[in-house]
Amino acid sequence: MELFDSLILGFSAAVTPTNLLFCLIGALLGTLIGVLPGIGPTATLAILLPITFFLPPLAALIMLAGIFYGAQYGGSTTAILVNLPGEASSVVTALDGYQMAKQGRAGAALAIAALGSFFAGTVATIGLAIAGPTLAGFALSFGPAEYFSLTIFGLLCATVLASGSVIKAIAMIGIGLVLGWVGTDVNSGSERLTFGAVELFDGIEFVVIAVGLFGIAEIIINLETPELRGLIATKISRLWPTRDDFQKAWPAVLRGTALGTFLGILPGGGATLSAFSAYTLEKKVSRQPQQFGRGAIQGVAGPEAANNAGAQSSFIPLLTLGIPSNAVMAMLLGAMTIHGITPGPSVMQNQPDLFWGLIASMWIGNLMLLVINLPMIGLWVKLLTVPYRLLYPAILLFCCVGVYSVSNRAFDVALAVGFGFLGYLFRKAKCEPGPLLLGFVLGPLLETNLRRAMLISQGSPSVFIDRPISLALLIASAALFLLLLVPAIRKTREEAFVDEEA
């Protein structure tokens, strides 16, 4: 009954005209950046983060969340119709979705993708509503020792689940930790890593590093990529799938939903890992794996359900524990910090309308996406004809104005541009910037809780093993680290992001 009352509170907060408007804006923007290749939700959230200064907290979070899960819908449209994934999590959708389109079954692929996404999003939202209060209540018993151990566990999970080299992922987290410690030490008052620059005494602004690494770096990367304009005219004669399509697709949707919900909760997981893992799972359980890559509807249903479930379940650790599970959640943590909101279990107690309003808006946003995506397919595909030479100067201007508006300092704009070039070099070296952002966000949290725990224990490190929850998290962290050393685990981790058909 208490859950029912909380959901009523959430819907009453979410269905106000202002919040419905920003939910729609988020859904439309998410679909747009999902359709346009090379931008992505992480870069978009980084660019739009300064705008949230001028919005009510709930409206800002509703819009940013809508952009994230809306991008999963939009990416599948162009992946299916023109073999051009607009979002990383839609890469595997293109393998079978585009083949279905060439066979005249584009409508069935689009409908299954949309319906599977809606079902998975709904299940993940219900899971967040059920698990949220339980986890938040559990987290209230956490002290500094538990939060320190949880942060260590989260950083190791991000290393295990990040794509690419383990060494590079560890290095990126290390760089993020160092950048997070730039500024004035709150205890001693001494300056750390400022190199005498007065502008760095208060540390590096989250918006600056986010816009640079994801917004500006993305622009540079895309400017050196040749534009693809080979749009194939695909006539959509039948939008509703056949009974046979449904019979083949619904088990894949259920498996993708379960897998995506689980992987989304883990630090370092999210939509992309969920989609790739779901495609691999479908091939392994199929009786006809040779059909994958030739128009198997399970190859569309499973990944699309998984990426949406993964996108929405990744809110669970952020809202209940205050730990971002991926780079996009780190952006949302930054948005909450901008509005003076401390992410974690206190949100549910002190601002229940915000917590439950955000959850209710996710279901409303999924419904909006289901309604606006299929009828507007033609419009979304036509947007691919917008020349990059017109699109990216406007995005770059928006980045610079947004960064300047945070503190009204030209130094921040120059710093963002510097991080943009640094992000470009990271991409060329195949270093994923997501772990760096997680390290940057979690570094100060790690240091603060370490110091608090040591002060409480009067300098004794035994405080981390005397408390059962902290000890369990440290044991889990040690187990993860040892798993990284096992060759079979490393091979499985690398194969999760590579499909042999790609």
Average pLDDT, whole number, for the chain? 81
pLDDT the model gives residue 500: 40
Position 78 pLDDT exceeds 80: no
Other CB atoms within a 10 A radius of the CB of residue 425 amount to 12
Position 1 pLDDT exceeds 60: no
pLDDT the model gives residue 422: 92
Based on the structure, what is the number of domains in the chain? Answer: 1
Please tell me the least confidently modeled range out of 24-28, 137-141, 383-387, 437-441.
383-387
The Cα–Cα gap between 155 and 435 comes to: 8
Q: What is the pLDDT of residues 315-350, one digit of tens each?
A: 888 888 888 877 788 888 888 887 888 777 778 778
**% of the chain beyond a pLDDT of 70:** 88
The Cα–Cα gap between 270 and 261 comes to: 9
DSSP string, 72-118: HHHHHHHHHHHS--SSGGGHHHHHHHHHHHHTT-HHHHHHHHHHHHH
Residues spanned by the domain of 110: 2-501
pLDDT the model gives residue 482: 79
Q: Is 115 exposed, middle or buried (CB count within 10 Å of its CB: 0-12, 13-18, 19+)?
A: buried
The Cα–Cα gap between 297 and 121 comes to: 19
pLDDT the model gives residue 230: 45
- Amino acid (one-letter) located at 405: S
Per-residue tokens: 23: 């939910």
pLDDT the model gives residue 486: 65
Picking from 155, 53, 147, the residue whose alpha carbon sits closest to that of residue 480 is 155
Highest mean pLDDT among 234-248, 292-306, 370-384: 292-306
Q: Which residue has the higher pLDDT, 268 or 118?
A: 118
pLDDT the model gives residue 54: 82
Give the model's confidence band at 170: pLDDT under 50 very low, under 70 low, under 90 confident, else very high. Answer: confident
Give the model's confidence band at 255: pLDDT under 50 very low, under 70 low, under 90 confident, else very high. Answer: very high
Highest mean pLDDT among 94-98, 287-291, 355-359, 429-433: 355-359
Span 18-42, average pLDDT: 83
The Cα–Cα gap between 346 and 146 comes to: 16
Q: Which residue has the higher pLDDT, 445 or 417?
A: 417
pLDDT the model gives residue 384: 66
Position 20 pLDDT exceeds 90: yes
Position 481 pLDDT exceeds 90: no
Position 66 pLDDT exceeds 70: yes
The Cα–Cα gap between 121 and 228 comes to: 31
